[in-house]
Amino acid sequence: MSNDTLKIINAEKAKTYIAQKKREDGRDFLDHRPIDVKVNVINSADGSAWVKIGNTEIIAGIKFGISTPYPDSPNQGSMVFNLEVTNIASPDVETGPPSIEAMEFGRIADRVIRSAEFMDFDKLCVVPGEKVLTVFVDCYAINADGNLIDAAQFAALSAILNCKMPKLDENNNIIYKEYTDQLLPVNKKNLPLSFTFYKVDGQLLLDATDGEEYAANARFTLGICNDVVVAYHKGGDSGTFTIDEINTMMDIASSKYNEIKKKLL
Amino acid sequence: MTTRLDNRKVDELRKIKIELGVSKNAEGSCYLEWGKNIVIATVNGPKPVFPRHLADPQKAVVDYKYRMACFSVSERKSPVPGKRDKEISLVSGNALESAIMVEQFPNTLIDVNVLILSADAGTRVAALTAASLAAADAGLPMRGMISAVAAGRANEQLVLDLTKDEEDTADAVDMACAFLMPQKEIVLLQMDGFVKKEDCSKILENALIGAEKIYDIQKKALLEKYPLEGEIQL
């Protein structure tokens, strides 16, 4: 319970700063913390990335699997996305099955990537109607200090961009640790990025810290791809947004798109 | 202007039928037919929370459960709630909580159960619309109604309230929106697709027009069961 007290104190601190039109770490309301991306950090994974946004750290790793395609897309491979937020990331997380919030976060990051027509699933078909490659993207939060959705999305994206294609044997099974000279086929023009806003006392914040997230009562995530919107998701407690606020966030996110894209490519 | 697959106008909702108080055991309940969607929602509470550590000393906890019947979709759905059901339950619960004056009932639980009996696109918005009516039927003090509707794009035109057939068209985009009415505040918003910024704003405006229609239908249904006495006007 003592952690709860600490959380409330941090949230109150964040609110006090915001009331003075400031943020605790001196950033502007719509600035990101420093973003650091390292790729190919895990030897056993086919693609991987370690993303740091301030104190938030997430590792994404990719493994391939062979599976039967979904009946409605017999010639397309698939992607399975998973985000694990365990006790490693923060003492506030309880051991046990994944929390419903972690699941929601993973699903939002997944949706941003999936809906941008970024992955070329047609090229992951092995035998039409029978065998396709499935891309398993697993993200682990190493340190949680807010903005886990965007961090997971950036990590997954960086891992996908640097993922090697596995070799297949004569029976179309994966030969582990052997790769073709190809990278996972993606449509680099459609690079999707997620932008998560939190609303604290009516003020919109980008890249919120843990304390700011706890102080907020509404969250909104946008998936942006060049000047196109690929996903909307309102979440986080029972706070509300107006239509004007949604449009403002859309404009801010698209104006930040190129800046963040440069850091990931 | 081209017509839609089911000959509706672009801003026309499917037929909606509402019946309140359908479940005798529940404190509040609502049966909703929305086109081919059929939804039953029940609301119980405020009541004690178990296990106790889930209680919130500041407000009532809204436990919203969105479930789809196995036979509600073409291929049998497993009765085990999947990630999708859990996510919808979470965001819809938050949405409904913004309408209920939960701060009046600290340390209690408000149970909301929604069962989709038949699904034809837009089930999460139909579920919220029904749940909000069931909460009103249960007599919970509320700030307003949650009026939810899906808007989007199908066959190259921006439309309101998509059917499954429209959702399956090549360029389809479906934006599920829920507004707290009459305040017009957004309490749920989910969309994925590939949409230009201008279209995004337009779809959102269409959704608000749709939500206003839903709000009128909700008010009518409530007034039918609970007629106003005297000179009070809504």
Per DSSP, the residues of B140-171 read --BSSEEEEEEEEEETTEEEES--HHHHTSTT
Per DSSP, the residues of A14-31 read HHHHHHTT--TTS--TTP
Distance CA A221, CA A199 (A): 12
Distance CA A89, CA A81 (A): 19
Which tokens go with B216? 């009128």
Neighbours of A39 (CB within 10 A): 18
CATH code for the domain of A111: 3.30.230.70
pLDDT of residue A91: 79
- What's the gap in Å between the CA of B97 and the closest CA on chain A? 6
Give me the mean pLDDT over the B8-12 stretch. Answer: 93
CB atoms A229 and B197 under 8 Å: yes
Distance CA B173, CA B150 (A): 10
Confidence of residue B233 (pLDDT cuts 50, 70, 90): low
Confidence of residue A1 (pLDDT cuts 50, 70, 90): very low
Interface contact B95, partner A, CB < 8 A = yes
Structural domain total, chain A: 1
Neighbours of A244 (CB within 10 A): 9
CB atoms B187 and A238 under 8 Å: yes
pLDDT tens column, A110-164: 999 999 989 999 999 999 999 999 999 999 999 999 999 999 999 999 999 999 9
Distance CA B134, CA B26 (A): 9
Tell me how many residue pairs between chain A and chain B have CB atoms under 8 A apart.
99
Domain annotation for chain B: domains and CATH numbers: 16-223 (3.30.230.70)
CB atoms A246 and B186 under 8 Å: yes
Confidence of residue A203 (pLDDT cuts 50, 70, 90): very high
Most A CBs within 10 Å, among B149, B177, B191, to test the A interface: B191
**Can you list the positions of beta strands (E) in B12-59?**
16-20, 28-34, 37-48
Domain residue limits at A191: 2-264
Which tokens go with B91? 């965001």
Q: Does the pLDDT at position B10 exceed 70?
A: yes
Instruction: List A residues 202-231 in contact with B (Cβ-Cβ < 8 A).
Output: 220, 223, 225, 227-231
Q: Give me Rg for the CA atoms of chain B.
A: 18
Going by C-beta distance under 8 Å and a sequence separation of 6 or more, which residues neighbour residue B74? none
Q: What ipTM does the predicted assembly reach?
A: 0.81
Distance CA B132, CA B183 (A): 15
pLDDT of residue A4: 78
CB atoms A234 and B189 under 8 Å: yes
CB crowding B19-40: b at 16 or more within 10 Å, else e: ebbbbeebbbbbbbbbbebbbb
Q: Does the pLDDT at position A77 exceed 70?
A: yes
